[in-house]
Amino acid sequence: MHKHSRVNWDYNGKPDFINGTGAYLEEKLLGYSAGFIVPLLLFILILTDYVNWSLLQIAVAILIAFDVSGGVISNSLNSGKRFYHSGRKADEGKQGFIFKNKWIFSFLHIHPLVVSLLFTPVNITYGVAWYLFFMVSATIVIATPLYLKRPVSMLVILHAILLNQYVIAPIHGFEWLMPLLFLKIIYGHLVREEPYRRLLKNII
């Protein structure tokens, strides 16, 4: 381990299921600010008539965009890695049980099914195909030994990007959805990595 590294798995404070309990201010700023990147893109798409959505569709799209866009960064934070790859604490309750269970948390990400039903009612194949591939991918990464999880997750994401580009035609306005969802969950949430703290001033 590098002499300047400071790996620390301990955390305390009010449960934070977004950026991880005990996140530094700058970590929270990174996570929350990232949540506005894709919604901003959607506003541009709406204003330029790239998409023509109802108010309900806009609301759902913005919600999904904020969740996925911010989640890509929040799940990769040291605070996020520390929180989601540690055992559940008593004050985290049922929410902690659900969110810290890799199977349940992955299963709950039904985003492609929602988008398929709400934005292309006649094309449920998109949602089913992506959700099945997503869950198979999650299963593969969860079952992979720790020392191989990161490269295997990246291999799965590589396939997802190519599928999104050349095999499963993305839904108009959601070209970003599946690559970012895979980054959020398959790498960000499922891969355990060392969580670093700020360097102590007395470390030379």
| Residues in a beta bridge with 196 | 7
Residue of 134, 191, 124 lying closest to 163 (CA atoms)? 134
**What pLDDT is attached to residue 106?**
95
Residues 170, 164 contacting (CB under 8 angstroms): yes
**What pLDDT is attached to residue 204?**
43
Question: At 24, is the secondary structure helix, strand, or coil?
Answer: coil
Residues 70, 180 contacting (CB under 8 angstroms): no
Residues 167-194 have a mean pLDDT of: 96
> How many C-beta atoms lie closer than 10 Å to residue 4's C-beta?
10
End-to-end CA distance of the chain: 15
Say how far apart CA 82 and CA 193 lie, in whole Å.
Answer: 8
**What pLDDT is attached to residue 189?**
96
CA R_g for the chain: 18
Per-residue pLDDT band for 3 (boundaries 50, 70, 90) equals low
Question: At 109, is the secondary structure helix, strand, or coil?
Answer: coil
* Phi, psi for residue 197 in degrees, rounded to 5: -105, 170
Per-residue pLDDT band for 4 (boundaries 50, 70, 90) equals low
| pLDDT at 199 exceeding the cut of 90 | no
Say how far apart CA 97 and CA 83 lie, in whole Å.
Answer: 12
**What pLDDT is attached to residue 201?**
62
Instruction: List, for residues 78-120, the tens digit of each pLDDT value.
Output: 999 999 998 888 888 888 898 899 999 999 999 999 999 999 8
Instruction: List, for residues 117-150, the tens digit of each pLDDT value.
Output: 999 877 789 999 999 999 999 999 999 999 999 9
The stretches of the chain forming alpha helices (DSSP H) are: 25-34, 37-47, 55-74, 78-84, 93-99, 102-107, 111-119, 124-143, 146-166, 177-182
Give percent of the chain with pLDDT exceeding 70. 95
Question: Residues with Cβ < 8 Å from 104, sequence gap 6 or more?
Answer: 98
pTM score, whole prediction: 0.92
| pLDDT at 68 exceeding the cut of 60 | yes
**What pLDDT is attached to residue 5?**
63
**What pLDDT is attached to residue 145?**
97
Q: Where are the domains of the chain?
A: 25-189
| pLDDT at 51 exceeding the cut of 80 | yes
Say how far apart CA 83 and CA 35 lie, in whole Å.
Answer: 19
